[in-house]
A and B are shown apart, each in its own frame.
Chain A
Amino acid sequence: SQQGEEDPQALSIQEGENATMNCSYKTSINNLQWYRQNSGRGLVHLILIRSNEREKHSGRLRVTLDTSKKSSSLLITASRAADTASYFCATDYNTGNQFYFGTGTSLTVIP
């Protein structure tokens, strides 16, 4: 499969704590994206990091990319109950125009 794999599959934390989730992939990429999906809703784009970038920030989100290890991490700082959702990484793979989505990490933030 060309899908990325997120780790952990599920994560439960207290409000205010930081949440870290990881994504591993298999082949070379042009860029990697992170998406959020609230229950019963469509996916929402969070952040895009290109293969020549190592770190990117957006508000409380911090994404890192290690192309040598073929992995990325998403850090959500000072988590809120509203951050409860599933988080997916998506990788384009140089072979085509489409994205392959990972299996997702289900994050629960306890108020």
Chain B
Amino acid sequence: DAGVIQSPRHEVTEMGQEVTLRCKPISGHDYLFWYRQTMMRGLELLIYFNNNVPIDDSGMPEDRFSAKMPNASFSTLKIQPSEPRDSAVYFCASSFISQETQYFGPGTRLLVL
């Protein structure tokens, strides 16, 4: 398997623009997690899905953030409108069982100017 795939790997955008991050989990994994990593706050869980259904989105910082998982092989994290403080590395991870090993993608490095 190719592992968790994220795109784009780097994104530079201007404040106010919409940003869409994409993730393809490992085939057969039924849990998908979105994390944000910054120097100040470390690695934060934003939202996770089980069988394409959002289970806990309490980590989503604001209504500007939204996530979807239309099918088992694709998820998006959208920020609209983006702000400079959203600049971070966003990781997607998937797992077969929720409390077992998570497999992380390479991350999307987002810079909002």
A residues apposed to B, CB below 8 Å: 3, 30-31, 33, 35, 41-45, 48, 88, 90, 92, 96-104
B residues apposed to A, CB below 8 Å: 4, 31, 33, 35, 42-43, 45, 48, 50, 55-56, 91, 93, 98-107
Output the least CB separation between B3 and chain A (Å).
Answer: 9
Considering the chains assembled together, what is the distance between the CA atoms of A33 and B97 in angstroms? 14
Name the residue of chain A whose CB is nearest to the CB of B4.
A42
Output the least CB separation between A107 and chain B (Å).
Answer: 16
Considering the chains assembled together, what is the distance between the CA atoms of A97 and B31 in angstroms? 10
Output the least CB separation between A84 and chain B (Å).
Answer: 18
Q: Can you offer 18 A-B residue contacts whose CB atoms are under 8 A?
A: A33-B101, A41-B106, A42-B104, A42-B106, A45-B102, A48-B100, A90-B102, A97-B50, A97-B98, A97-B99, A98-B33, A98-B45, A98-B48, A99-B45, A100-B45, A101-B35, A102-B42, A104-B42
Considering the chains assembled together, what is the distance between the CA atoms of A37 and B99 in angstroms? 19
Considering the chains assembled together, what is the distance between the CA atoms of A99 and B103 in angstroms? 13
Given contacts A42-B91, A88-B43, A104-B42, contact A99 B102 (CB under 8 A): yes
Considering the chains assembled together, what is the distance between the CA atoms of A99 and B99 in angstroms? 7
Considering the chains assembled together, what is the distance between the CA atoms of A88 and B50 in angstroms? 24
Name the residue of chain A whose CB is nearest to the CB of B104.
A42
Name the residue of chain B whose CB is nearest to the CB of A104.
B42
Output the least CB separation between B22 and chain A (Å).
Answer: 15
Output the least CB separation between A10 and chain B (Å).
Answer: 13
Considering the chains assembled together, what is the distance between the CA atoms of A32 and B43 in angstroms? 16
Whether B104 contacts A43 by the Cβ 8 Å rule is yes
- When distances are taken between beta carbons in the complex, the residues of chain B under 8 Å from A90 are 102
Whether B42 contacts A44 by the Cβ 8 Å rule is no
- When distances are taken between beta carbons in the complex, the residues of chain B under 8 Å from A42 are 4, 91, 93, 104-107
Considering the chains assembled together, what is the distance between the CA atoms of A87 and B98 in angstroms? 21
Considering the chains assembled together, what is the distance between the CA atoms of A98 and B50 in angstroms? 11
